[in-house]
Amino acid sequence: MSMKDLKKDFPILERKVNGKDIVYLDNAATTQKPNQVIEAISNYYKNNNANIHRSVHKLSEEATAAHEGARKKVGKFINANEREIIFTRGCTESINLVSHALRLKKGDSVVSTTMEHHSNIVPWQLLKDKGVDVKFVGINDDGTLKIDEFEKLIDDTTKLATVVHVSNVVGTVNNVKEIAKICHKKGCKILVDGAQAIPHMEINVKDIDADFYAFSGHKMLGPTGIGVLYGKKEVLERMEPFMGGGDMIKEVFLDHSEWNDVPWKFEAGTPNIAGAVGLGVAIDYLKDIGMKNIRKHDDDLMKYGTEVLGKIEGLKIIGSAPERIGAISFTLNDIHSHDIATIVNEDGIAIRSGHHCAQPLLNALGLEETARASFYFYNTKEDIDKLAESLEKVKKIFA
């Protein structure tokens, strides 16, 4: 089956917008959901809805099995032990969990980069009131990281370095395995923001040697409100809980409590059970296609998109890293990105505009905003052709 044939699994892609067939090119923001995921969530609520871990009745046993079964699927998908998989509300919460649970103190430091999504900058800035120093690795003009700066910035005070695997703006694929080696040689841990990587490529957290790897379900065909934090078991066991409440404890007394085992120590309260179920089915779907096949298709679209959009006079593609995936950001003459996105929407085309929650990156590139087209396996070369045709209309309007 070709990638194009898979479109039939996505009901929203049959919609028309402004009388035109929808062309969805905003996948870096969120991916669409196949029928299999939608039906799995519906089926859970229709047939298995109950709270987990706390009851012996049939529905609870089924719900618990479905939830923990999803945890096992996630573990296998990234080559991790299921006990190293923590369910969160999304990549943002996963990063915040680490920022809180590491209990960093005055005199400690964190190294991040100017390429990060705001979700991997702001949580560390919030630690400044505790006396934690935050330092940033810069970027080159082509949208690649100055990796040698990790060597310079990580010192004896650095407890964690954190880096995006794939940029949501320029699509740069960072060599996180090399960065992990630098971190461990220098004696600090590494957290990888994998939100934009995991939909497009095979992820092996053991091979990367990441101490933490975070991602969201909704960017990989799953529902919103479910995310994952992978952490090395020995690291998680030394960390303090993120939140207090039910299910993260073994016993509670008035003067103290005893924490549950990892990963449940970090999962206070009733989790998003249906979200975990949906994420598990999304992983099944991706595995059926094959991540290598998805990566090849995405690489082909990136190459084609770069060629086609690059031929439009006045259009400038932002970033030219040797390895890019998923997204092409661009400017078009001096036309504001919101105007571009508004006009192509009239042709049923959905793209992103603005700073993409990555203002430090854009500022480093001398920009305030861009338009962004981001692709997934259900996109086609025809989608890119339609975007190019629509962009020519934009130029004429502002000529």
Residues 246-266: tens digit of each pLDDT: 889 999 999 999 999 999 999
- CATH number of this structure's domain 3-25+291-397, picked from the four choices 3.40.50.9100, 3.90.1150.10, 2.40.40.20, 3.40.50.150: 3.90.1150.10
Q: Annotated catalytic, 183?
A: no
Q: Taking the complete model, does pTM exceed 0.95, yes or no?
A: yes
SS3 353: strand
Does 37-288 carry CATH code 3.40.640.10? yes
CA atoms within 13 A on the CB side of 170: 31
The candidate with the shortest Cα–Cα distance to 192, out of 179, 201, 202, 207, is 179
pLDDT at 399: 81
Answer whether 3-25+291-397 and 37-288 agree in fold. Answer: no
CA atoms within 13 A on the CB side of 99: 26
pLDDT at 1: 58
* Catalytic residue selected from 91, 183, 188, 357: 357
Mean pLDDT, rounded, of the chain:
97
Q: Which residues of 21-59 are buried (b: 16+ CB within 10 A; e: fewer)?
A: ebbbbbbbbbbbbbeebbebbeebeeebebebbeeeeee
Residues 371/353, Cβ–Cβ less than 8 Å: yes
Which percentage of the chain shows pLDDT scores above 90? 96
**pLDDT over threshold 90, residue 4:** no
**pLDDT over threshold 70, residue 11:** yes
Tell me the pLDDT band of 365, cut-offs 50, 70 and 90: very high
Q: Which two tokens stand for residue 275?
A: 């979200």
pLDDT at 231: 98
Residues 13/24, Cβ–Cβ less than 8 Å: yes
pLDDT at 39: 98
CA 140 to chain centre: 23
122-172 pLDDT per residue, tens: 999 999 999 999 999 999 999 999 999 999 999 999 999 999 999 999 999
> Domain limits of the chain?
3-25+291-397, 37-288
